[in-house]
A and B are shown apart, each in its own frame.
Chain A
Amino acid sequence: MNWDAAIPLLVVASSLLPGLVIFTLAEERVYLRTFLNLAGAVIKLGLVVWMIWGVYHQHHYEIRLALLPNLDLVLRAGPLALLFVTLSSLLWLVTTVYAVGYLEGSPHRSRFFGFFSLCVTSTVGVALAGNLITFLLFYELLTLSTYPLVVHRGTEEARRAGRSYLVYTMFGGGLLLLATVWLYTLTGTLEFTPQGFVQQVLATHRPALIVIFALFIAGLGVKAALVPLHGWLPKAMVAPAPVSALLHAVAVVKAGAFGIVRIVYDVFGVEAAAHLGVINPLAWLAAFTILYGSVRALSQNDLKRRLAFSTVSQVSYITLGVAIIGPIASIGGIVHLVHQGLMKITLFFCAGNLAETLGIHKISEMHGVGRRMPWTMTAFTIGAFGMIGAPPVAGFVSKWYLGLGALQAGQGWVVIVLALSSLLNAMYFLPILHAAWFRAPPDHWPAEHDFGHKETAWALLLPPVITAVIAVAVGLLASAPFSPLDWARLIAQREFYQP
């Protein structure tokens, strides 16, 4: 028995099986459900750490199952896959703790945590997918498993948001399917390969490949929230806070961005993409999205909506890094996959805490909230500074590498975009921080819950504090071995230098 092959499967199963069991549990079996959730999350994280150790020692983790003649389902743990799978496993564990605290006493929890587990199952599947058809399978599964989470509240507004989410993602899924089958009829393979697998048909099918690339970007751009395909994201803010955290930092948006990285690096390859002339338009689109998201964020008074538009902007850093040809910008883009996740999940946790503890949903209600909830707002402040790009928080590292990479690639205009974006980030985050810390609190909060002398429940407070600490740590220790930056270097190396 080759245990190495079984581990990727176990990583997927460690959330799938608990999820399926949770569906069958009665509503009141809180302890068993929580135990299953946490056990699955801890086992998954343990397996992932095991794989990181193994990959470092030249182990090869891959499992195949024949899906169609000549087409396999493949789960494989390469460096890029590991980066994403580590992020989602870690954040899943934290988010589970948060969700248990957040949903305490609310209805439909078995259903919620069942789909929650399926959602993470799909995400690690997306991460570990070794070819396009496996990617497609888990990508669509992700759509199906997040829809129930988006509409979880069951209000008319939630259902509207769910419909909008479905329309966008189903449309994107259709384009993705078309692009995948089309590419398969040209190349006869769908296996992710460093530096791509389209070289053989590059000369003969140039126009088709350009259209296929555009279809891929449009299909993935829905989840990655590239303008003009971002419309569902702000609407989906009606979902409970742990779902927003998951959507923005771990699962959906990230899966889209991750897909774009895969398409550019492991399907087309940067060289082929540059040769086709599609890489620069992608960079422009990403840059436009970055600025557009930030500008829209400025005018939002609803805290979660402001954060949503901030995501639209921030996730496109990943796309931008990928679309600038050169190893340093790539490192910046790839590492931002992790950094953005850590910072954004912190911000959403904090927004959820404000809503649950004090009933605060709007930025105009946040005056003096720092005195009432100092720990939460400290975590929020770290996240916000990270988004602005202030050292030593992780976001600084991403922006540094992006800027440096752009200069190295001779694309000076990107630096201007980055500077503008940072300015805009500061413009929409700093007023929040100022109000929270320096303005006087109101006489009473919109809807205050009593948590004794604590500022809020432990399960709500610990997750943002932990993720904020990690966001600072990965920034401070960026050049240490096994840091996200270190892995991003390894990945960029594989893409840009022959092995």
Chain B
Amino acid sequence: MSAMLPALQTIPWAIVLILLPLVAGMLCFLWPRLAPTLGMATASINVLAVAALAWQLHFRFHGSYRHAVGGWGAPLGIDLYADGLSLLLLLATALVGLGVSLYAVGYFRPEQARRFWPIWLLLLGALHALFFAADIFNLYVTLELVGLAAVALASLNGDGPAVSGAMRYLLATLLGSLSYLLGVALLYHAYGTVDIALLAARVDSTPVTWAALGLMVTGLLLKTALFPLHFWLPPAHASAPAPVDLLGLLGMAAILWGSVQALRQPRLKLLIAYSTVAQLGYLFLAFPLARTGISVWRAALYLLLSHALAKAAMFMTAGNLLRFGHHDRIADLDRVVQRLPITAGAFALAGVSIMGLPPSGGFIGKWLLLEAALSQGRWDIVGIILVGGLLAAAYVFKVMGHAFTQAGVTHEAHRVPRTMEWTALSLAFAAILLGFVAVPLLHLINTGAVAVGFEVSG
């Protein structure tokens, strides 16, 4: 065992995490019958690889590390970069990925599975690459990969509505890419680098920077992927607060609009989807609050992680209910909800985190966000956070109320595979558990963050 440890230390886990899903995805494409096995194996190895990377980061690199792919360093070659933040996102992806893979084994019919596994593994590989990206151009490439894989997954059903929905998403994401790329070009022209760490050191508050920022934000908004931005947001942005405040306003609007829309939906899947809009809004609130030194990004990240787990669990419960009752009309859910107690429990636990009630990851994030807003006297944001929580409670209980009607039978033969129910419950439970591990996780977020100008105070 002790002889193996040095070998494990020297393996470049970043490369493994990117290549393994890609190779496995291709193999799935070539041998469709092996796809579920290969996919499950990859998802499991991912978790182990992330753990190994964590170990490596801690003992060998003491916080963060850079890997120059093929020995060509920046600015010529591609650098991979890993720190506590990437580790955390990788960990969340690995866990949710494992859950989704388990769920997919039960969910898809063979002919769908043939198409699902290659694309799904491509998506995982692209996400891993995204979290390792060390420069804003690489971010562009990996975001594009993620977007394309997501579009393909969205059209997996192959019927009319699925394809037209996917098409719409594709157009939006392409437009977003263009806008983002334009921003990258502007920054490259102005500062001569696309490396995030170098940019963080060089940028200052000039019109070019703000134009680039505007373009990139617009682009990422279209892709609804906002988090990489905070890396290099000019620390001097107090001098030009307008765009940052605009993002905050956008976030508030998203919370209110998303929640109200979620409340109005007659269908469960749509309710969950609109709830996502609202939850993403919370992340935007971090922008106006980041002005002072308080590390509000930790709050946003914590919300992001909890949301990833909870929302994955919620979508799975919707899938289970759909499979069992062949519909997801909320008004007629009572006969379904009560026959799937594990699924109902998963929805309830995920709901606790979405509402931001203790104990849950969502609560920790909301607490940190409220703390930042209050200490800066941003009462508008405080109000929105509280109202958002109440609205979330309203739409969660709109569904949960159906678990308590006078429908006769409670238990019935399982027509939903057990793994599908238990996966949902495990992910929801993980979102609750996040509420108890905040201290080590927040510490992890700060690990190695100085190198990229990440705010560490607070």
Contacts and interface: CB of A to CB of B under 8 A. Distances in A.
Interface of A: 23, 26-27, 65-69, 107-108, 111, 133, 136-137, 140-141, 144, 147-148, 151-155, 158-159, 162-163, 166, 170-171, 173-174, 177-178, 181-182, 184-185
A67 B390 contact: no
Contacts of B397: 147, 163, 166
B10 interface: no
20 contacts: A23-B341, A23-B345, A67-B364, A67-B438, A68-B367, A107-B410, A136-B358, A137-B358, A144-B352, A147-B397, A151-B404, A152-B404, A153-B406, A154-B405, A171-B390, A173-B357, A174-B386, A174-B389, A177-B386, A181-B370
Nearest to A182: B374
Contacts of A23: 341, 345
Nearest to B458: A69
A86 to B, nearest CB: 25
B436 interface: yes
A174 B356 CA distance: 10
B375 interface: yes
Interface string B347-390: 00000100001110000100110110011000000100010011
A166 B357 CA distance: 13
Given A108-B410, A154-B406, 20 more contacts: A27-B411, A65-B436, A67-B435, A67-B436, A67-B439, A68-B442, A69-B442, A111-B410, A136-B358, A137-B359, A148-B403, A148-B404, A155-B406, A159-B404, A166-B393, A177-B367, A178-B382, A181-B367, A181-B371, A181-B374
Contacts of A147: 397
Nearest to B402: A159
B401 interface: yes
Interface of B: 341, 345, 352, 357-359, 364, 367-368, 370-371, 374-375, 382, 386, 389-390, 393, 397, 401, 403-408, 410-411, 435-436, 438-439, 442
Contacts of B435: 67
Contacts of A137: 358-359
B370 A162 contact: no
Contacts of B405: 154, 159
Contacts of A177: 367, 370, 386, 389
Contacts of B411: 26-27
A240 to B, nearest CB: 13
Nearest to A137: B358
B391 to A, nearest CB: 10
B390 A170 contact: yes
Nearest to A26: B411
Given A144-B357, A174-B390, A177-B370, A66 B404 contact: no
A66 B357 contact: no
Contacts of A166: 393, 397
B371 A184 contact: yes
B72 to A, nearest CB: 40
Nearest to B383: A178
Contacts of A69: 439, 442
Contacts of A182: 374
Given A154-B406, A159-B404, A185-B371, A170 B393 contact: yes
A206 B368 CA distance: 24
A153 B405 CA distance: 8
Contacts of A174: 386, 389-390
CB-based closest 7 A-B pairs: A154-B406, A137-B358, A151-B404, A66-B439, A181-B370, A185-B375, A174-B386
Given A27-B410, A137-B359, A68 B401 contact: no
Interface SS of chain A: helix, strand, loop or mixed?
Answer: helix
Given A136-B358, A173-B357, A185-B374, A68 B438 contact: yes
Contacts of B389: 170, 174, 177
A148 B390 CA distance: 18
A134 to B, nearest CB: 9
Contacts, number: 81
A140 B364 CA distance: 14
A26 to B, nearest CB: 7
A162 B401 contact: yes
A151 B401 contact: yes
B40 to A, nearest CB: 26
Nearest to B382: A178
Contacts of A108: 410
A56 to B, nearest CB: 32
A151 B352 CA distance: 18
B447 to A, nearest CB: 14
A214 B401 CA distance: 32
Contact of A159 (B368, B371, B401, B438): B401
Nearest to A155: B406
Nearest to A158: B404
A65 B437 CA distance: 10
Nearest to B356: A177
Contacts of B341: 23, 111
A163 B397 CA distance: 9
Nearest to B352: A144
A67 B403 CA distance: 31
B358 A68 contact: no
Contacts of A111: 341, 410
A140 B401 contact: no
Given A68-B364, A163-B401, A178 B439 contact: no
B379 to A, nearest CB: 10
B436 A178 contact: no
B438 A140 contact: no
A108 B404 CA distance: 10
A141 B390 contact: no
A163 B394 CA distance: 9
A159 B359 CA distance: 25
Contacts of B408: 107
A77 to B, nearest CB: 21
Contacts of B375: 185
A154 B341 CA distance: 16
Contacts of B352: 144
In this complex, the member of A23, A67, A141, A174 whose beta carbon has the largest number of chain B beta carbons within 10 angstroms is A67
A108 B337 CA distance: 14
A178 B357 contact: no
A469 B370 CA distance: 49
A462 to B, nearest CB: 30
B439 A68 contact: yes
B85 to A, nearest CB: 17
Nearest to B392: A170
Contacts of B359: 137, 141
Contacts of B345: 23
A158 B389 CA distance: 24
A170 B392 CA distance: 11
A480 B143 CA distance: 74
Contacts of A151: 401, 404
In this complex, the member of A69, A107, A171, A177 whose beta carbon has the largest number of chain B beta carbons within 10 angstroms is A177
Contacts of A27: 410-411
A41 to B, nearest CB: 24
A255 to B, nearest CB: 15
A271 B408 CA distance: 57
A155 B397 CA distance: 16
Contacts of B390: 170-171, 174
A431 to B, nearest CB: 36
A140 B374 contact: no
Contacts of A26: 411
Contacts of A67: 364, 435-436, 438-439
In this complex, the member of B368, B390, B393 whose beta carbon has the largest number of chain A beta carbons within 10 angstroms is B393
A146 B268 CA distance: 25
Contacts of A65: 436
A182 B367 CA distance: 10
Contacts of A140: 357-358
